[in-house]
A = this chain, B = another copy of it.
Amino acid sequence: MERIRLGMVGGGSGAFIGEVHRVASRIDGHFDLVAGALSSTPEKARQSATALGLDPSRSYGSYDEMAEAEAAREDGIEAVSIVTPNHVHFPAAKAFLDRGIHVICDKPLTSTFEDAEAMEKAVASSSALFVLTHNYTGYPMVRQAREMLAEGRIGTIRIVQVEYPQDWLTDAVETEGSKQAEWRTDPARSGAGGAIGDIGTHAYNLASFVTGLTGAELAADLHSFGAGRQLDDNAHVMLRYEGGARGMLWCSQVAPGNENGLRLRVLGDKGGIEWAQETPNEMWFTPHGEATRRITRMGAGATDGANAVSRIPPGHPEGYFEAFANIYTEAAHAIRAVQDGEARDAVMGRLPGIAAGLEGMAFIRACVTSAKSNSVWVKI
C-alpha cells in the first residue's frame, strides 16, 4: 500500500508534540513525512528539516508558502499535521483546508472562540478532512470503556469524575527559559485558558467520549498559583450533564508528584468503571454487587473496538505513542476512503473532528466565564 504524503507545520527541534506526531505517523507505516514548515525561525526550520531527512526544496519558511507550493506539485502532500502553539492553528489549517489538503491538528482547536467559529466555516467549505488529535481517545481501553458504557454495562450514568493533574509548572519555569511553558502561559498564544485549555480540554473530551453524555452547564473556580502567571494553572469545575448526571473535573499543572495523571471514573446505577492514562493497558470494571474486574488490553473481556486498535497480546504494554498512532492510522483509513470516493461525513468513525474541537472551545469559554463571575453556573 502506498504511504500518504504528509507535511508538518511547527514541530522544529526542541518542540515536544511535533516529534510525538512524527513517531505516531510512522508506527503503522501509513505516512511519509515529505515536507515541512517546521519553525517560524528560518534557520531552525532548515536545520530541523535536515535532521529529519526532508528534501531541502520542501522545507518551507511559512505555512502559506508550503500550502501553495505543495498544492501545485503533482506529488504534493495529501495531508498536513499542525503542531504549533494554539494561535497558529486556525490560519495554518485554513491555508491547507482551502486547497483541499487534509488537516490533522493538535488541540485545543484554536486560541480564541472567534477563530474556532472561523475554523468551523473553513472546514465546512473544504472538501478535506479535519482531524483533531484528542489522542487519549486512541487508547484501546478508552474505546473499551466507551463500548461498555454504550452497552449499558454500568446502567444509567450518574456521576463523572475526571482529573488531569501535572506538576511541571509548579515553579515559574516560564521565566527560566522553558519554551513549552512560555507559550502555554501566554494568553496571546494560548488563549483565555491556561491549564484548562491545555489539559482541561483533554479531560473534558475524554469524559464526553467515554460516556457519550453532553455537558449542559458548569461552575468553575480557576486560579493561578505561579508567581506572575496570567492564566490559570489550576482549575476546579463542577459539571452537570444533560439527562441529570453530575460531574467534577480537576486539572492542575502545579500538583507535585503528578506527572500526567489523566484519570476517569464513571459511576452508574448498575456499576462503575475507572481508567488512568499512566496505566493505560488496564481498566477496572465493577458490576454493582460483584467483585471488581481488571480488564486488560486484548485480554479476556476486551471488546472488538478495543482490539481493533491494539497490536500485541496483553502484558506487552502499549503506550502513549501507540494511542496517538491509532488516531493517525484511523486518519489514514479515512483519507484513503475519501480518496476512494466515500463521503467525508461517512469516514470519520471514532475520530475526533471539528465538533469535538468546538465542544472543547465552548468548555474553555464557559470555564472562563463562570470563573469571572465567581463560579456561577454557565451553559456550555
Chain A residues engaging chain B, CB cutoff 8 angstroms: 1-3, 16, 19-20, 22-23, 26-29, 51-53, 154, 158-159, 161, 163, 165-168, 170-171, 219, 221, 223, 225, 234, 236, 238, 240, 246-248, 250, 252, 254-261, 265, 267-274, 277-281, 284-296, 299-301, 311-322, 374-377
Asked, given contacts A219-B219, A221-B219, A271-B257, whether A300 binds B311 with beta carbons under 8 Å apart, the answer is no
| Complex contacts, A223 vs chain B, CB 8 Å | 246
Asked, given contacts A221-B219, A316-B319, A374-B377, whether A271 binds B291 with beta carbons under 8 Å apart, the answer is no
Does the CB pair A280–B317 fall under 8 Å? yes
Does the CB pair B260–A315 fall under 8 Å? yes
| Complex contacts, A3 vs chain B, CB 8 Å | 53
Does the CB pair B27–A167 fall under 8 Å? no
Does the CB pair B278–A315 fall under 8 Å? yes
Of all chain B residues, the one with the shortest Cβ separation from A284 is B257
Asked, given contacts A53-B1, A286-B257, whether A312 binds B301 with beta carbons under 8 Å apart, the answer is no
Does the CB pair B291–A16 fall under 8 Å? no
Does the CB pair B280–A291 fall under 8 Å? no
A290 CB to closest chain B CB (Å) equals 5
A216 to B155, CA, bound (A): 38
Does the CB pair B260–A246 fall under 8 Å? no
Contact of A236 among B1, B238, B265 (CB under 8 A): B238
Contacts A/B (CB < 8 Å), 15 sampled = A1-B53, A26-B27, A29-B53, A219-B375, A238-B238, A238-B375, A252-B267, A256-B288, A281-B319, A290-B301, A291-B299, A292-B293, A319-B319, A321-B321, A375-B375
A254 CB to closest chain B CB (Å) equals 6
A300 to B291, CA, bound (A): 5
A167 to B295, CA, bound (A): 15
| Complex contacts, A23 vs chain B, CB 8 Å | 27-28, 311
A291 to B238, CA, bound (A): 32
A207 CB to closest chain B CB (Å) equals 14
A295 to B291, CA, bound (A): 6
Q: Which 6 A-B pairs have the closest CB atoms?
A: A259-B315, A260-B315, A257-B286, A319-B319, A317-B319, A256-B272
